[in-house]
Structure 1
Amino acid sequence: MTPKRGRWEGVGKALGTLSHWHVPTDDSAPEHGRSWSENAWLRVFPMWDAFFAAFLALTLTTVSLAPNSVHTDKMRAIALLCAIGVWYCLFGRSSIGRKGPPWVGIVYVVGVMVLYGPAVAASLDASSILFVLGPQLFLSVRLRLAITMILLLDLTAMAVLVVEGEPWQTIAVYGIFALMTAFYALAFGLWLDRIAEENAVRERLIDQLESSRAEVARLSHEAGVSAERERLAGEIHDTLAQGFTSIVTLVQAAQSEMDSERDTELARRHLGLAVRTARENLDEARALVGALTPAPLANSSLVEAIRRLVERVGHDLGIAAECVVSGEPTRLGTDVEVMLLRATQEALNNVRKHARASAVAVSVEFTEEAVLLRVADDGVGFDPESKPTGFGLPGLRGRTEQVGGAFAVSSAPGEGTVVKVAVPI
């Protein structure tokens, strides 16, 4: 878990440090199961339907209102234009954006060629539909094929006009019109092809980004698992393994003394120490299990769980133990409460094992910015600059940083130890 950026002066006052964190967010990922380019086509697809319908209606109106035209030719041109509209609904919509199989676009283009030539022969005004058919060719088939189809479409219509015996003026006018539409369609098609290429590049980049993010997530998970495994291994080595070694040594010494019947009282003392060490190991085992399943927080608040820990240490060690809570207790996230509980357990376990203290004091302060935890004892202390021999304090520092908190420890030989943890709210 990566904490968010924040400024919390309460933590700075408590530890003398300021910390900043930031979590980048990314809302630009594509929808699940669809590529970026496919989503782009789906967004603009209704616009192509409207574009085609508008030009078809405009062309039909132009043909129907054309002067000096035979009524039957108008009707034939209108029927062929309507047939192009039906053909678009059957095959054109599936071919735009090259979403369907390649043969769909070819079938659509061939059908358009078959219908367009006779429509222009019936009424030259029907050629207006070419303004929308030209771009569709580039949306339906590949660039080179689309250019070829555009030229064939124009040449087919001009050939029909020649066969029909149209005057050369009409053929020349149509030739100029066909040349203009060909250049327009070519420019439009090149632009669309460039956009398609950029979309493909963007899609590959997005795929690579998603793959990289998945790889980073996998590596982060593996690193977290490895860190937790290392922490547990260190705690087991420093607690359970050493405890079991002590138990074995004490029991062997007691057996040797009882076999020789030299000192029964000393054997009993060794057995008593072994029992005491076994109980401590049992406590350690329960603490390790609790690190995975925080039972103290299951049916009580964080403050109540910390109070019980402090009372237990005072009772077990026979020392003065005090827990002070200030401020208004606030319900925190589970990960934060577990971390604070583990921090208290780790600090008190150090008091048990190393401090040889006569008193320990735990304070929990709730402020508007943070929760401040302080565990102080009057034990033998240690040198914080020395290399740590266990995994307790380094592991506690790592846990604190995982939830966006700050950790500090102050100590000196013969002057006790103070552990401070601050977590932003």
Structure 2
Amino acid sequence: MRSTVNLGHRHRLGWHVLVGAVAIPLAVAIAADVTVALGQRLLALGTLTVIVAWYALVAPRAMEDGDERWGAVYFAALAVAFPLLLAIAPLGGALMFALCPQLFVMVARWRIRLPLLLILYAELAWAMLARAGVSRYTLAMVGVTVLVPMTVTILVGAYLTTVREQSRKRAALIEELTATRAALERAGHDAGVHAERERLAGEIHDTLAQGFTSVLMLTQAARTNLLRDPTAADGQLDILEKTARENLAEARSLIAALAPVDLTGRSLADALNRLAARHTRDTGTHVEVSIVGERPGAPTGTDIALLRSAQEALANVGKHADAKTVRLELRHENGLMALAVTDDGQGFDPTAVRGGYGLLGLRTRVTSLGGTCTVRSTPGQGTTVRVELPLVPAEQAARSLQPVLDLSSTPDH
């Protein structure tokens, strides 16, 4: 029914023009027909005026309201007034040029539309036969002036109805597609917000949180030595200040969405060496760095992911492993960058523990670049965290590599 409303509303002026274009010449013709008595002409003009007034009163609502009952009421009244006009002035049959198009706009269902159409044309045929009598000629004229126009009207009306229904469905489809696109845009925005939150959470965990952990450990050590060994405490305070400054630089870098401070103006190998030296300085655990194989320039995202992976692995070693030594190996082989962090600590059973954000964030970062991450550990025999990333753009890597992570049940070791 929405198409009826739209059609009536958008083309309201056109319907008024059509009624005027038919009614005005018809009124002039009736008034000028000297073969009809003046009284009959006045009565015909009065009847025509009532029909036009009825149109002005009911038709706009019938076209725009979408309720075909208004159209049925409108044409029911016309079925009474129209034969009166025909009985007085046969020229009134020209009014069908305005009534038939209105019928297909105001009434949607054929089971109501078709009987009304047949009634109007039957009244037109009755008026012709009543005035001219029944003969072969008049029957032929009825066929030409009534049956043929009625058939054409039905065919054209069916065609226009089909076109209008298709337009309605197309409009509904466009509306649905618009709503779907808006929903997809909202979903994309929400997904982007979620991904950015996850990224920031990972960055904060890998940098600021670990830096604050180092600051806390150094503060506790300095407080212990403050009275017993002021010299040692002073050295620890120097390290504490340097760690705080590095953490502040990381915070500024994170806010500015820049590369990590250790990668600014340096290679990944240099950044790993600095990371190892810092870990040794802060925890006393010796970290050995090994760079194997020639390495072409990798995408910045790959370097960042490998550096963050090393940071996470070393942070877990410091918190859980109680290791004496750590080996950090970066290897370029078969189009992949492989990073392995191995400690000789106490190890753990991956199947016996749950939870932990650090390795989960590491998994998310690595798989988003089309890489793989595995954690192998045995109680009493240390732990190895291995990350592999392709040296191709992330979009290609996502299509060519299946992300694999063997730490679904692994905590922040």
After TM superposition, the score normalised by the length of structure 1 is 0.58
> 1:175 and 1:78, CA in 2 relative to 1: closer, same or farther beyond 3 A?
farther
Match of residue 176 from structure 2: 208
Match of residue 263 from structure 2: 350
Matches within 5 A, 1:281-360: 281-285=247-251, 288=254, 291=255, 342=256, 345-346=258-259, 350-351=263-264
Could you list the per-position Cα deviations for residues 345-387 of structure 1 after superposition, in whole angstroms to 9, with x for gaps in the alignment? 536563399858xxxxxxxxxxxxxxxxxxxxxxxx9864466
% identical aligned pairs: 28
Does the aligned pair in 1 maintain the 2:86–2:124 contact within 8 Å?
Answer: yes
Match of residue 238 from structure 1: 206
Structure having the higher Rg:
2
Does the aligned pair in 1 maintain the 2:221–2:236 contact within 8 Å?
Answer: yes
Task: Provide structure 2 residue ranges, at least 5 long, that are not aligned to the other structure.
Answer: 272-293, 310-363, 369-392, 394-413
Cα distance in structure 2, aligned partners of 1:56 and 1:71? 19
Per mean C-alpha deviation after superposition, the further-off stretch among 192-201 and 67-76 is: 67-76
One-letter amino acid matched to 1:135? P
Matches within 5 A, 1:213-228: 213-228=181-196
The Cα of 1:246 is off from its aligned counterpart by 1.2
Does the aligned pair in 2 maintain the 1:240–1:285 contact within 8 Å?
Answer: yes
Match of residue 389 from structure 1: 306
Could you list the per-position Cα deviations for residues 185-204 of structure 1 after superposition, in whole angstroms to 9, with x for gaps in the alignment? 21231122112211221022
Match of residue 71 from structure 2: 105
Cα distance in structure 1, aligned partners of 2:251 and 2:67? 64
The Cα of 1:51 is off from its aligned counterpart by 1.4
Match of 1:46 among 1, 13, 28: 13
Cα distance in structure 2, aligned partners of 1:382 and 1:230? 30
Match of 2:103 among 113, 137, 145: 137
Cα distance in structure 2, aligned partners of 1:140 and 1:389? 71
Cα distance in structure 2, aligned partners of 1:75 and 1:171? 28
Match of residue 215 from structure 2: 247
Match of residue 95 from structure 1: 62
One-letter amino acid matched to 2:75? V
Could you list the per-position Cα deviations for residues 270-304 of structure 1 after superposition, in whole angstroms to 9, with x for gaps in the alignment? 1221133234334444555xx3xxxxxxxxxxxxx
Name the SS of the counterpart of 1:168 in structure 2: coil
1:64 aligns with 2:12: no
Could you list the per-position Cα deviations for residues 100-153 of structure 1 after superposition, in whole angstroms to 9, with x for gaps in the alignment? 433211111112111101100111111011122111111111233121101112
Does the aligned pair in 1 maintain the 2:121–2:146 contact within 8 Å?
Answer: yes
Name the SS of the counterpart of 2:11 in structure 1: helix
The Cα of 1:182 is off from its aligned counterpart by 1.3
The Cα of 1:216 is off from its aligned counterpart by 1.4
Match of 1:190 among 149, 153, 158: 158
One-letter amino acid matched to 2:220? Q
Cα distance in structure 2, aligned partners of 1:187 and 1:223? 53
Per mean C-alpha deviation after superposition, the further-off stretch among 119-128 and 62-71 is: 62-71
Cα distance in structure 2, aligned partners of 1:87 and 1:133? 12
RMSD: 3.6
Cα distance in structure 2, aligned partners of 1:60 and 1:66? 10
Match of residue 147 from structure 1: 114
One-letter amino acid matched to 2:222? A
Match of 2:133 among 152, 167, 176: 167
Matches within 5 A, 1:120-131: 120-131=86-97
One-letter amino acid matched to 1:129? L
One-letter amino acid matched to 2:96? L
Match of residue 76 from structure 1: 43
Cα distance in structure 2, aligned partners of 1:101 and 1:36? 12
The Cα of 1:157 is off from its aligned counterpart by 4.2
Match of residue 316 from structure 2: none
Structure with greater contact order relative to length (CA < 8 Å, sep ≥ 6): 1
> 1:126 and 1:165, CA in 2 relative to 1: closer, same or farther beyond 3 A?
closer
Does the aligned pair in 2 maintain the 1:243–1:277 contact within 8 Å?
Answer: yes
> 1:38 and 1:203, CA in 2 relative to 1: closer, same or farther beyond 3 A?
farther
> 1:37 and 1:91, CA in 2 relative to 1: closer, same or farther beyond 3 A?
closer
Match of 1:278 among 244, 247, 264: 244
Could you list the per-position Cα deviations for residues 158-198 of structure 1 after superposition, in whole angstroms to 9, with x for gaps in the alignment? 44666x66533596435642223312321231122112211
> 1:187 and 1:63, CA in 2 relative to 1: closer, same or farther beyond 3 A?
farther
Cα distance in structure 1, aligned partners of 2:145 and 2:168? 34
The Cα of 1:45 is off from its aligned counterpart by 2.6
One-letter amino acid matched to 1:102? E
The Cα of 1:90 is off from its aligned counterpart by 0.7
The Cα of 1:57 is off from its aligned counterpart by 1.5
Cα distance in structure 1, aligned partners of 2:29 and 2:152? 21
One-letter amino acid matched to 1:189? G
> 1:282 and 1:382, CA in 2 relative to 1: closer, same or farther beyond 3 A?
farther
Cα distance in structure 2, aligned partners of 1:41 and 1:272? 83
Cα distance in structure 2, aligned partners of 1:103 and 1:146? 11
One-letter amino acid matched to 1:273? I
Does the aligned pair in 1 maintain the 2:59–2:71 contact within 8 Å?
Answer: yes
> 1:65 and 1:53, CA in 2 relative to 1: closer, same or farther beyond 3 A?
same
